[in-house]
Amino acid sequence: MSAGLAIYYGVLIYTEIDDKDEHKILRTEKILLPENCIRDSRINLDMLESAFKELKAKKPKPFVLGVPDAFITPVQFPDDMDAQDVRGALEFDFEKYFHDLKIEDVVFDAVKMVLPNKTIFFAAAVNLNAITNVLDIAKKTGLEVLAVEPENFSLYRILPKTDDELFMAITKNAAIATSNGKMIFIRDITRELTKPEIQLVVKIVETKQPSAKVKGVIKITDDNNALLAQSLAMREFSDTKMDLRPREKFDENLGEAQKFEKVELIKKAPENPAPSKSTLLALKILMASCFLIALLTGGMAFFNYSRANTQIDFLRQMLNTSEARLEKLKTRNAELQAESQKIDEAVNFMAGEIPVHEVLEVLEANAGAGINFLKITFYRDNNENFAQVNAETSDEKNLVAMTSGIDESDLISNLVILHSEKNSKGVIKFNMILKIKDVYANSNV
C-alpha cells in the first residue's frame, strides 16, 4: 500500500492507493488547517504540528510528502547525461537557472524526461529551513516521510500516457503538460485561471509540440484535490522521481582513526670506572671558568634586559597611538564606502538598471505586425525587475506566437498574463507582467 500527503491551500490531504493498481484509491483523509497556518509561503509550525497530530491519530502509512512552494524550471544539459550527473552539474550552474535563490539556502533535485524525439531535464528547489522544519515536526509527531516531491511536478503521473497526445493539469499555482506520459511543460501562475486564459495556455503548449494537440485538461479544484495526494503516492510506481529531503553532509576526514602507541625507550647507564685526581682538578677549573662566564653573561643580560624594557615601553606607546589612529581611519573609510555605495546605486539607477532597450527588442522581435502596444511600464519590486505590458491584437494567434517567443528569451525569466478580453469588434486587449532577469549582479537599488 502506497500513500501520499499533500499540503494544499488550507487542507492536509492524505491518500492511500492499491499496490497493484495505482489508480485505485483505498482511503482519503482531509484535515482542515487553521486560516493563517500557511500564509505567503510561511508556515505556522505550531498549527501544522497540531494538524500532524490529528493525522497521526488516524494511523497513516509511511507517505510521500508534497510541497506546494517548490521552484521548478527546465534546465539545459546534454541528452546523454543522467539525472545524477545533472544534480552535480547544477552545483556549478545553480544561479543560471535559480537566479533569485542561493544554493546554500535550498535543497534541490533534478529529473530526466526522455521522449521519442527529445530529452528534457527539470530541476526543483525548495527552501531548506522550511522543509527541515516540516520534516522535524513530522518526526516529532511520529509520521514517517518516505520522500519529498513538488506537488506540481508529481501531477504528471495522473495524466493519461497515450502516445503522441498532449494532456494538461491546471492547479491554483501552476499549469503542466505531458506527452507520452512525461512532463514537457510547467508554468507558474499567480491565481486560478479563467476558461479563456486556460485556452490560451493550451495554445501555448501546442506550439511546444506542433505535431500534437491537447486532448484533455484536468483542473484541480477543492472537489478533486485528492488527486494531488494520489499523484504523490504513485511515486512508488514511477521511474522518474524527485526527492527534496535535505541530504546528509559527511566529513571527508571521517573514518577509522589511526592508532599510535607510546613506546618508552629505557637505556641502562654504562658502568664507568672512577675518575682520577687529575681529571677531577680539570673539572673544577672548568666549572670555575663556566661560573665566571655565566656571571658576566648574566650581568650583560640584565643590562640589556633593562634597556630592552625601556625600548619596549616606548614602542608600546607608539603602537597604542597608531592603533587609535587606525581605528579612526577605519571609521572614516567605512563612512566613505557607504557614501560611495549610495553614489554607485544612484548612478546605476540613472544609467538604467533595468535593461529597457533589450526588453523592448525582445517584445518587438516577437510581436510582429499584429500586436499594438498601448503602454509599457518598467519598475522594480523587492530588488527584482518587472515590465507591465498593455497591448491589443485582432488575432489570438499573434498573442500565442508572441508569448511563446518571449518564453524562449534568455532575458525574461517568467511571463504572467493578468487579464485578457475580446470586445465587440473582435479586438483582444490583454495585460501581462514580465519578470526580467537582473543583468546588474551587484546592484542593491
CA distance 406 to 208: 13
Range with the lowest mean pLDDT among 144-158, 317-331, 343-357?
Answer: 343-357
Mean pLDDT value across residues 215-221: 86
Of the candidates 434, 428, 437, which has an alpha carbon nearest to the alpha carbon of residue 374? 428
pLDDT for 276 equals: 60
Burial of 220 (0-12, 13-18, 19+ CB in 10 A): buried
Highest average pLDDT, of 85-94, 204-213, 311-320, comes from 85-94
Are 367 and 444 contacting, i.e. CB atoms less than 8 angstroms apart? no
The whole-angstrom separation of Cα 149 and Cα 243 is 5
The DSSP 8-state label assigned to residue 103 in this structure reads: G
The residues pairing with 148 across neighbouring beta strands, listed in sequence order, are 65
Residue 84: closest CA among 241, 232, 245? 241
Please give the distance of CA 31 from its chain centroid, rounded to a whole number.
29
- Beta-sheet pairing, 214-219 with 166-170: parallel
Confidence of residue 219 (pLDDT cuts 50, 70, 90): confident
Query: Residue range 257-284: average pLDDT?
Result: 47
Helix, strand or coil, per DSSP, at residue 108: strand
What pLDDT, on the 0 to 100 scale, is given for residue 265? 33
> What is the C-alpha separation between 159 and 187, in angstroms, rounded?
17
Q: In b/e form, how buried is each residue of 366-400, taking b as 16+ CB within 10 angstroms? A: bbeeebeeeeeebeeeeeebbbebbbbbeebebbb
* Nearest alpha carbon to residue 197 among 419, 431, 367, 440: 419
Options 3.30.1360.100, 3.30.70.890, 3.40.50.300, 1.10.3720.10; CATH of 356-436? 3.30.1360.100
pLDDT at 249 over 50: no
139 compared with 269, residue with greater pLDDT = 139
Is 185:207 a contact under the CB 8 Å cutoff?
no
Identify the pLDDT of residue 35.
78
Q: Higher pLDDT residue, 252 or 102?
A: 102
Instruction: Determine contact, residues 34/251, Cβ cutoff 8 Å.
Output: no
Q: Is the pLDDT of residue 346 over 70?
A: no
- HEC string for 387-434: EEEEEEECCHHHHHHHHHHHHCCCCEEEEEEEEEEECCCCCEEEEEEE
The pLDDT of residue 130 is: 87
Is residue 412 within 8 Å of 434, Cβ to Cβ? Answer: yes
C-alpha to C-alpha distance for 297 and 302, rounded to whole angstroms: 9
From residue 442, alpha-carbon distances to 31, 120, 283 in Å are 45, 32, 79
Q: How far apart are CA 114 and CA 152, in angstroms?
A: 19
Cα separation of 302 and 304, whole Å? Answer: 5
Q: Tell me which DSSP letter residue 69 carries.
A: T
Centroid of chain to Cα 80: 25
Question: Using CA atoms, how far apart are residues 286 and 224, in angstroms rounded to an integer?
Answer: 106
Percent of the chain with pLDDT over 90: 16
Per-domain boundaries in the chain: 2-237, 356-436
CATH code, residues 2-237: 3.30.420.380
Stated length of the chain: 445
Contact 130, 117 (CB under 8 A): no
CA angle 421-422-427, nearest 5°?
125
d(CA 67, CA 51): 16
Grid cell for residue 197: 486564459
Q: Of 61, 226, 71, which is closest to residue 145 (Cα–Cα)? A: 61
Does residue 358 register a pLDDT over 50?
yes
Do the beta carbons of residue 131 and residue 148 sit within 8 Å? yes
- 267: exposed, middle or buried (C-beta count within 10 Å: 0-12, 13-18, 19+)? exposed
| pLDDT at 306 (0 to 100) | 62
Query: What local confidence, expressed as pLDDT, does residue 314 receive?
Result: 65
What's residue 343's pLDDT? 58
Evaluate if residue 62 carries a pLDDT over 90: yes
pTM for the whole thing? 0.58
Per-residue pLDDT band for 250 (boundaries 50, 70, 90) equals very low
Start-to-end CA distance of the chain, whole Å, equals 53
Spatial contact of 126 and 133, defined as CB atoms under 8 Å apart? no
Under 8 Å between Cβ of 12 and 33? yes
Q: Which of 29, 8, 28, 26 is nearest to 17 (CA)?
A: 26
Pairwise CA distance, residues 179 & 177, whole Å: 7
